[in-house]
Amino acid sequence: MTTTKPEPILTVSQEELYFLLVLLKARRIPGLEGIFEPDATEQERTHLLDAARRALVARGLVTLQVDGRATMDEFALAVVGTCVRPLYSVIMENTGLDRSNGVFWHGIKSLIVEHSIPQEGIHRFRALPADSDLVRRFMGASEVHLSEDAGPMEEGLVMQSAFDKARQVCRDAGDEAAGGEVLMQGGLSSQAAEKLAAILAGAENSTTVAFMRHAYPDGEEELFGGSALAGPQGAVLTVPTDTGSGEVRVRPLTRQGWQDWLGLMLEVIREK
């Protein structure tokens, strides 16, 4: 009988993570920009850091040296350090009618870290082997329900602003005809606009994925991505064009097509 070795996990509060970032002299984790700058006075910030340090010391994740320096546990340093300075990142956001949640993957040559927020203010870091099947994990984390039949929608180009407005009109106002009109004004044919409006009206969940490749020491980032929406009338994948025109390419999407696209984009950010 074979047993599966559990993946090592680090779970910390947001305040504890903020302290660890201060130790690493880091201000951000890709995909979570801005949340680690507490809206507090200098005195309040000092109290926050002191409380977080004590909690981390009590848990054995931080050690206070004789000279007063604080040092991190090796595992905490590895997983948080990978998230702070990854070679590539994949950021997934699932959005429903009244909720959203995110999952983040950050990789270096020897380690991949899956970062999730199981509840507000709690961060969970899962260490994965560098050869992990990330596409399988992407598929498991995605909340769009896809079949092998994409529906009758044809591929086309439409302005992103028109797509966003049509989605709001179809979903919130329930007016497919008005949504279709917006899509035609945005560049779709009347037939494609009608079919896409029907999909948008029934699509309660969407998954947006950003793929980032990082370069050091200059900090440059290359960004790729797209969004999947699915409903009773079919499913589509929208991907921004690289022309600077503000258009997105909309194409019908199957489960296999979604898996293939995720795998392709992962190869793109890992290829260098």
Neighbours of 39 (CB within 10 A): 6
* Cα–Cα distance, 236 to 64 (Å, whole number): 53
The structure's pTM equals 0.90
Q: What is the overall mean pLDDT for the chain?
A: 90
Residue 38 pLDDT class (50, 70, 90 cuts): low
Q: Tell me the Cα Rg of the chain.
A: 22
Indicate if the pLDDT at residue 13 is higher than 60. yes
Tell me: the pLDDT tens digits for 206-238? 999 999 999 887 778 899 999 999 988 889 999
Query: With 80 as the cut, is the pLDDT of residue 259 above it?
Result: yes
* Ranges of each domain in the chain: 10-141, 156-270
Q: 149-207: per-residue pLDDT in tens?
A: 766 778 999 999 999 999 989 888 788 999 999 999 999 999 999 999 999 998 888 99
Give per-residue pLDDT as tens, 58-95.
999 999 988 888 999 999 999 999 999 999 999 999 98
For residue 215, which phi and psi values (nearest 5 degrees)? -130, 140
Contact 224, 268 (CB under 8 A): yes
In the structure, what pLDDT confidence band is assigned to residue 2 with cuts at 50, 70 and 90? very low
- List strand residue ranges (DSSP E) for the chain, in order: 9-13, 62-64, 70-72, 88-95, 100-107, 112-119, 122-128, 156-159, 205-214, 221-231, 234-240, 247-252
Identify which has the larger pLDDT, 128 or 170: 128
